[in-house]
Amino acid sequence: MVHISALFRRLPSQHEDSSWKNLIVFSHIRSTMVKFGVHLFLWAERFDEAALPLIGKAKKMGFDGVEIPLIELEPLNVEETRRELEKHDIIGLGSVGIPLDKDITSSEAATRRRGVEYLKRCVEITSQIGGDAINGVIYTAWGKITGKARTEQEWRYSVEALREVCQYANGYGIALGLEPVNRFETYFLNTAADAVRLIKDVGMPNLKVHLDTFHMNIEEKGFCQPIKEVDKLLWHMHCCENDRGVPGSGHVDWKGVFKALAEIGYDRWLVLESFTPEMEKLAASTAIWRKIAPSADAIATDGLKFLKKMTKKYLKK
């Protein structure tokens, strides 16, 4: 049997250009219903052999897939991960935050090259575990703050690197999702409009948008319009409350979010992502200083229940 990810290839074109129409062609085959996922950062700071049982745990909770953090690649056993995913009949997706020493917008050519090769390896790993996308901060180093706005040169560096990685990823049937994050985590890409502009400049059909309601709550004027403007380029969705707590317990406009998703015919992933103070390194990076929910398991179970309720009301599942 051919894995679904193998179907996501770039269609041949007589005109190899960066036209807007050509960017949409990668989505010619889509699933018919949304799927629910959870980011394994909820329980583990790195994905090593000790974290493998989390795959089965997520499946028992009712999730269809897991986001596997690919920031540290050395601890990850690809073959064992693939077997565990197959054992529990659950899908693995790649989650990326480019480390500073692999920054593709660096002024140093050697650092940029390390970043490109790192992203290519993330593509390979995601393909090997049966996934069809890597998503996250894939356009600059996660957490890099210069105290200034992005420069045109940095933008060009990112465009060049992403174009090369996307071309490479096409051969694996892998899409890349750009996640705009808030101003305290990056100065480079903060809004959905930023992501769409970068996609147009890169000009590759497998470069998509990954939105996150936590970051949208900080950077966007609202939730509905950005989702509708991204439209079919939306490839991945993190459903997070405004305080990173259980979705539905804060002030994110979930009704507006799901109505917008229904309007654009969204049918891919709805993923819970959160962090707890117990994950000390991650908590420091994401400023989680207090208990935002009773437990990580509560975020997962209660959050999934809420997402399924909203999906049943507004989307097809």
Distance CA 202, CA 161 (A): 9
Q: What is the DSSP letter of 36?
A: E
Q: Characterise 143 by phi-psi region: left (phi > 0), alpha (psi -120 to 50), beta (else).
A: left
- What residues form DSSP beta bridges with 136? 96, 178
- Helix, strand, coil content of the chain in percent (nearest 5): 45, 15, 40
Spell out a b/e string for 137-165, using b for 16 or more CB atoms within 10 Å of the CB, else e.
bbbbbbbbeeeeebeeebbebbbbbbbbb
Distance CA 213, CA 127 (A): 27
- Is residue 179 part of the annotated active site? The answer reads yes
Which member of 45, 67, 154, 273 is catalytic? Answer: 273
- Is residue 49 part of the annotated active site? The answer reads no
Contacts of 134 (CB under 8 A, 6+ apart): 70, 93, 94, 95, 96, 119, 122, 123, 126, 169, 174, 175, 176, 177
In contact, 185 and 137? CB cutoff 8 Å:
yes
Contacts of 53 (CB under 8 A, 6+ apart): none
Which member of 179, 185, 220, 241 is catalytic? Answer: 179
Q: For tokens 């180093």, what's the residue?
A: 141
Residues annotated as catalytic (active site), given as ranges:
179, 273
